[in-house]
């Protein structure tokens, strides 16, 4: 029997898969979204995850340091992730990201995705 | 006419009201939740916002440095906030918080709330 609630398994499973995919072959991330998914990357909004492919780095590594998952009233799962990333030869940076996951046609997809580097916590 | 989309007005209006209320009289924050709202504070889950009243500080000040808002497929608004806070005489700390807002009986309430101090971005 599962020890963790179902929504936590869904959220943490998605998070693990997402960053593994991001760090190895981020073109395939498109499978995790729908055409109507809403993405915000450093405050810039997109409605296509194609933007993830065109981000200005060759290699990236994510490390997750904390994650929280909630069930929502509309049977979605909301996940908040904190971690560190290293892109190419840049210095390690903190980041936070939020996903809203929804079951569409028996598959969990990401309908909303917001990403920010942690530097915003420390003002301009 | 409004320049910002409705969901952004709802999200930014909530965020402004929430932190203003938090910094002046956080007992009244209860009005912004429902009995079924789901809260996570530094990884600890609660289903009652009474916990906000019992947090271990007397005075607190929040400064918002970045915020993002999305409409969701179920007509909710998801808001991610980054900022800094100062509790009592402690040093200033970065934080991130996510809210899911839903219109219930013609009023926008917070159904999900996740909070983390920014220190998690930098690992243990």
This model of the complex carries an ipTM of 0.90
Q: What is the model's pLDDT at position A55?
A: 78
Contact B33, B49 (CB under 8 A): yes
Contact A94, A83 (CB under 8 A): yes
Check CB contact of B124 with chain A, cutoff 8 Å.
Answer: yes
Sign, CA dihedral A30-A34-A36-A42, equals negative
Contacts of B68 in chain A (CB under 8 A): 40, 43, 114, 116
Instruction: Measure in Å the smallest separation between the Cα of B61 and chain A Cα atoms.
Output: 14
Q: Which of A43, A71, A121 sits opposite B38 (nearest CB)?
A: A71
Q: What is the model's pLDDT at position B124?
A: 38
Check CB contact of A71 with chain B, cutoff 8 Å.
Answer: yes
Check CB contact of B114 with chain A, cutoff 8 Å.
Answer: yes
Instruction: Measure in Å the smallest separation between the Cα of B124 and chain A Cα atoms.
Output: 8
Among all chains, which residue has been given the structure tokens 């990236």?
A: A60
β-sheet bridge partners, residue B19: none
CA B41, distance to chain mean position in Å, is 10
Q: Identify the CATH number of the domain defined by range B6-118.
A: 3.10.450.50
Question: What is the rounded average pLDDT for all residues in chain A?
Answer: 89
Check CB contact of A122 with chain B, cutoff 8 Å.
Answer: yes
Check CB contact of A64 with chain B, cutoff 8 Å.
Answer: no
Domain regions of chain B by residue span: 6-118
pLDDT tens-place string over residues B49-87: 666 777 788 899 999 999 999 999 999 999 999 999 999
Question: According to DSSP H, which parts of chain A are helical?
Answer: 6-25, 50-53
Residue B73 exposed, middle or buried by CB count within 10 Å (0-12, 13-18, 19+): middle
Q: Identify the CATH number of the domain defined by range A6-119.
A: 3.10.450.50
Are A65 and B112 a contacting pair at CB < 8 A? Answer: no
Q: Distance between CA atoms of A69 and A12, rounded to whole angstroms?
A: 7
> Which CA distances in Å does A59 have to A19, A89, A98, B18, B60?
13, 9, 22, 39, 40
pLDDT tens-place string over residues A39-87: 998 888 766 666 677 778 889 999 999 999 999 999 999 999 999 999 9
Whether the pLDDT of residue A2 is over 60: the answer is: no
Check CB contact of B2 with chain A, cutoff 8 Å.
Answer: no
């Amino acid at each position: 029997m599962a020890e963790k609630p179902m929504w936590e398994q869904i959220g943490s499973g998605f998070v693990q898969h997402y960053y593994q995919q991001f760090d190895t072959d981020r073109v395939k991330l498109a499978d995790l979204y729908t055409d109507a998914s809403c993405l915000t990357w450093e405050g810039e909004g997109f409605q296509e995850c194609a933007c993830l492919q065109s981000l200005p780095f060759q290699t990236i590594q994510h490390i997750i340091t904390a994650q929280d998952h909630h069930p929502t009233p509309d049977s979605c799962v909301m996940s908040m992730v904190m971690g560190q990333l290293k892109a190419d030869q840049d210095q390690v940076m903190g980041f936070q990201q939020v996903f809203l996951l929804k079951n569409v046609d028996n598959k969990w997809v990401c309908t909303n995705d917001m990403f920010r580097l942690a530097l915003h916590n420390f003002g301009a």
